[in-house]
Amino acid sequence: MTPDDATESDPIEAEAAEWVVRAAAPDFSDTEGLQRFRATSPRHSQAFLLASQAWDALAETDLCDGPDPVPVRAGHGGPTPWKAALAASVALAVGLASYPHLALALRADLRTSAGERHTARLPDGSRVVLDARTAIELAYSDEERRIVLLEGQALFEARPAAQDGRPFVVESEGGTVRALGTRFTVNDLGEEADVVALEHRIEISADDGAVMVGPGSAVRFGAHSRPVRRDAAAAVGEAWQRDRLMLDRVRLSEAAEMLSRYSETPVRYWGGGARDRLVSGAFSTDDIDGATRAIASEFGLQITRIPLVGTILH
């Protein structure tokens, strides 16, 4: 990929976020250093102001309430470790708010942004359709046509191996999908991946086993779990091409990530035990706010919108 294909982080925003986190600590004493940073230029001062606003917004929500994860010595208004962890997340959000997928972008050969869909012809003549917030890396060699799904989901229409002479393999979440036919989808859920065969057969391999399925079959796999057949119909694999988001027994944290694909404002789940509760449902990708409200209502969650961070389910 060329340098223009990736966006670089703003070092001023990143440093401003670091100053906010440091200044929130009870033992902070480098006030002169902070003043020098803010006085460097108007951009430095503005970056610190934005980072401070994000921290203040967090402090006003009940996300910071509740018992601390570890014992803490009483201070003078300083943040608890839980609040400090949130401040660190604000630092990341402020410093990288416009570039949440920078690390992946540096690896990706093809990628899309929020709400974008893109169709591309691969070097071997195969075709790929990338859903929103999707990134893939091409790792073609003389032995195989390997594609790494870095995030998101995609539809693959593989040129048959009989015509190319090399197997067509998609790698995701510690497993691989080998095309024995032509059309299939792969959806990266974060810790696991879903694959749906649309035409002919595919072979799914992970550390703990392998399975071969035909058209209309779905499989979920992960780096440390056996591939498991799913009841989902082929329609689930192609729903996003019809502007529908179909959640099939995914974790709350995974559901939030999938909602974020279609929203300029990230959706995040910050919570405890409910993280692994399973979500199922069908939503329009044109109404992510409505989908977020529906999921929050179903699980008794609250919604908090924090500047520079996103929409928080908690």
Question: What CATH number is associated with residue 201?
Answer: 2.60.120.1440
Convert the pLDDT of each residue in 184-235 to its tens digit: 999 999 889 999 999 999 999 987 789 999 998 999 998 788 898 887 666 7
Is it the case that residue 35 has pLDDT exceeding 50? yes
Which residue is it, tokens 């693959």? 156
Do both 71 and 112 map to the same domain? no
What letter would DSSP give residue 197? E
What is the pLDDT of the chain when averaged over all its residues?
81
Q: Which amino acid is at 20?
A: V
**Residue 117 shares a structural domain with residue 168:** yes
Does position 90 have pLDDT exceeding 90, yes or no?
no
Q: What is the pLDDT of residue 232?
A: 64
CA angle 48, 18, 47 (to 5 degrees): 20
How does pLDDT run across 244-303, given as a tens digit for each residue? 999 988 999 899 999 999 998 889 887 666 667 899 999 999 999 999 999 999 999 988
pLDDT score of 231: 75
Residue 76 and residue 140 share a domain: no
Domain that holds residue 248: 243-313
Q: Is the pLDDT of residue 72 over 90?
A: no
Write down the pLDDT at residue 79: 42
**Pair 217, 164 in one domain:** yes
How far apart, in whole angstroms, are the C-alpha atoms of residue 29 and residue 246? 51
- Residue 139 and residue 234 in one domain: yes
Q: Using alpha carbons only, what angle is made at residue 117 by residues 114 and 123, rounded to the nearest 5 degrees?
A: 125
Same domain, 194 and 294: no
> What is the rounded CA–CA span in Å between residue 302 and residue 314?
5
Helix (H) or strand (E) holding 238: helix 234-238
Q: Tell me the torsion sign for CA atoms 65, 71, 74, 77.
A: negative
pLDDT at 73: 34
Count of the separate structural domains present in the chain: 3
Residues 160 and 87 in one domain: no
Give the CATH number for residue 298.
3.55.50.30
Last residue of a domain, one of 38, 66, 96: 96
The residue ranking higher by pLDDT, 87 or 297, is 297
Same domain, 257 and 208: no
Q: Residues 229, 131: one domain?
A: yes
Per-residue pLDDT, averaged over 161-176, amounts to 93
- Residue 68 confidence (pLDDT) above 60: no
Beta strands in 253-302 (DSSP E): 267-269, 278-284
Residue where a domain terminates, one of 47, 69, 96? 96
Residue 98 has pLDDT above 60, yes or no: no
Whether residue 47 sits in one domain with residue 130: no
Better-scored residue on pLDDT, 190 or 170: 170
Check residues 302 and 141 and name the one with the higher pLDDT.
141
Q: What is the identity of the amino acid at 50?
A: L
For residues 233 and 95, give the distance between their C-alpha atoms in angstroms, rounded to a whole number.
Answer: 41
Residues 273 and 210 both lie in one domain: no
pTM of the model: 0.72
Mean pLDDT comparison of 25-34, 60-69, 107-116, 269-278, highest-scoring range: 107-116
**Could you say which of 58, 74, 96 is where a domain stops?**
96
Q: Which of 67, 87, 71, 68 is nearest to 25 (CA)?
A: 87
Q: Are residues 231 and 276 in the same domain?
A: no
Is the pLDDT higher at 63 or at 26? 26
